[in-house]
């Protein structure tokens, strides 16, 4: 545990971190990848180039400093972060490397203001926090390997089938090359895919939600092709998978992970709201609820630009057709003429609170949502305005976690060990 003097010193650095946090994390990654270029095989290069990872880490360091005297306020996110680390293959030996480079970055950016006393305090604080992560992750590695059909590291899976779900989303049905059993998973979890792309210097690892229900002899991931748009770079892995990964090819997967999971003990009404490819974990949840809790009322809402890019529609409608408890609504903001002719959607435009209040039977429900960040911010704001209980609001970020409200310091993700 940290002594009172160390806590006092860390707290005194809060204003400095608020001002210079991103500069520190930018410098940290420069130092880290210069001294340990092999770690480029773990980190998401796109998030690096867009500054997402630097910002997420800066927010996490700031939150740790703010709450150093009451770490229990940020420790609930440890398990979420540890799931990501386990899926990426982060190990205990990585933590000293990160700590060394983080302290060096603080020294470089703050200069003489980073006294030996301050650096020592941060070294002690980092050690305490790192040990928590190491312990939680060690337990996760053991659980992943010991469960039926489980494994550690990355395991080869053969593409049994490749299905185009829309103009931009393709599903890959995956079975283990070794012919063995596969680990079960909680609806909402993801797998990491490790990819070596010809001509690229580094390995890429990306997380994809499992888009089918548990209990089947395969895993399914539904991947959106991310082409370059304005300042956003091309998604190298998604484009490569769409263009070059075919039936019979091999993908390397980590065991399922993630904390965005369906609470199957709850029997109250449930509301799923998705935008774009954000429907993938929710479809898995929907299938599970319909099969295991057939009396539970479900409202499933999906927003897409139009029918050309709307994936997994038929699967969702099949669930609704076999269950009177499932209500489905489609929202298109740029419908095509064909969509209009077929009356393929329920509303044109964007989801707002008055419409939600009209179609959702009660706010005394569990709400799960996933999609683009701005989409989720709008939903989060609407649900808070409706006075939906915070404990009933569940959501997933695709990529480094952030905040859905500017003052919500608890919604941070440490993106390095």
Give yes or no for residue 324 having a pLDDT over 60: yes
* Lowest mean pLDDT across 48-57, 64-73, 183-192, 296-305: 48-57
Q: Where in the chain is the domain with CATH 3.40.50.80?
A: 270-386
Tell how strand 190-195 and strand 393-396 pair up.
unpaired
Q: Where in the chain is the domain with CATH 1.10.490.10?
A: 4-146
CATH level 2 (architecture), domain 270-386: 3-Layer(aba) Sandwich (3.40)
Binding residues for NADP(+): 276-281
Q: Active site includes 137? A: yes
Binding residues for heme b: 85
Per-residue pLDDT, averaged over 324-336, amounts to 97
CATH level 2 (architecture), domain 155-253: Beta Barrel (2.40)
Catalytic residue of the set 95, 204, 219, 368: 95
Binding residues for FAD: 190, 206-209, 397-400
Per-residue pLDDT, averaged over 8-37, amounts to 90
36 pLDDT tier (thresholds 50, 70, 90): very high
Kindly state the tokens that stand for 148: 């039926």
Q: Where in the chain is the domain with CATH 2.40.30.10?
A: 155-253
Check residue 407 and give its pLDDT: 40
Check residue 1 and give its pLDDT: 77
Give yes or no for residue 190 having a pLDDT over 90: yes
Catalytic residue of the set 29, 62, 126, 137: 137
Measured from the Cβ of residue 22, the count of other Cβ atoms closer than 10 Å reads: 17
CA atoms lying within 13 Å on the CB side of residue 295: 3
Q: Tell me the per-residue pLDDT of 261-293, one tens digit each, with 9 for 90 and over.
A: 999 999 999 999 999 999 999 999 999 999 999
Edge-first strand listing for the sheet containing 204-209: 204-209, 190-195, 250-253, 155-164, 169-176, 219-224
Name which CATH class applies to 4-146: mainly alpha
Per-residue pLDDT, averaged over 51-58, amounts to 70
């Amino acid at each position: 545990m940290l002594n009172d003097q160390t806590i006092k010193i860390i707290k005194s650095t809060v204003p400095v971190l608020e001002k210079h946090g991103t500069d520190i994390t930018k410098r940290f990654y420069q130092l880290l990848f210069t001294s340990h270029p092999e770690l480029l095989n773990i980190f998401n290069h796109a998030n690096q180039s867009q500054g997402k990872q630097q910002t997420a880490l800066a927010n996490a360091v700031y939150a740790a400093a703010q709450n150093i005297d009451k770490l229990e306020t940020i420790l609930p996110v440890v398990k979420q972060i540890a799931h990501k680390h386990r899926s990426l293959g982060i190990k205990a030996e990585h933590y000293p490397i990160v700590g060394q480079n983080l302290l060096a970055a603080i020294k470089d950016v703050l200069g003489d203001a980073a006294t030996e006393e301050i650096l020592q305090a941060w070294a002690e604080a980092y050690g305490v926090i790192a040990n928590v992560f190491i312990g939680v992750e060690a337990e996760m590695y053991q659980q992943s390997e010991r469960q039926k059909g489980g494994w550690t590291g990355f395991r080869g899976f053969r593409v049994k089938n490749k299905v185009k779900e829309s103009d931009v989303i393709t599903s890959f049905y995956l079975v283990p090359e070794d012919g063995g059993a596969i680990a079960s998973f909680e609806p909402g979890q993801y797998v990491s895919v490790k990819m070596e792309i010809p001509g690229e210097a580094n390995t890429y690892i990306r997380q994809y939600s499992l888009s089918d229900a548990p209990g089947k002899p395969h895993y399914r991931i539904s991947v959106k092709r991310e082409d370059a748009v304005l300042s956003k770079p091309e998604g190298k892995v998604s484009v490569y998978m769409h263009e070059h990964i075919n039936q019979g090819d091999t993908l390397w997967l980590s065991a399922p992970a993630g904390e965005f999971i369906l609470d199957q003990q709850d029997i109250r009404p449930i509301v799923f709201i998705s935008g774009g490819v954000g429907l993938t974990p929710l479809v898995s949840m929907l299938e599970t609820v319909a099969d295991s809790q057939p009396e539970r009322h479900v409202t499933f809402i999906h927003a897409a630009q139009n029918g050309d890019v709307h994936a997994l529609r038929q699967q969702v409608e099949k669930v609704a057709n076999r269950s009177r408890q499932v209500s489905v609504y489609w929202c298109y903001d740029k419908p095509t003429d064909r969509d209009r002719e077929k009356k393929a959607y329920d509303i044109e435009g964007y989801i707002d609170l008055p419409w939600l209040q009209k179609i959702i039977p009660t706010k005394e429900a569990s709400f799960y949502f996933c999609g683009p960040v701005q989409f989720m911010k709008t939903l989060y704001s609407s649900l808070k305005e409706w006075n939906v209980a915070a404990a009933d609001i569940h959501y997933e970020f695709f990529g480094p976690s952030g905040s859905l409200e500017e003052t919500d310091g608890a919604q941070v993700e440490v993106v390095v060990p």
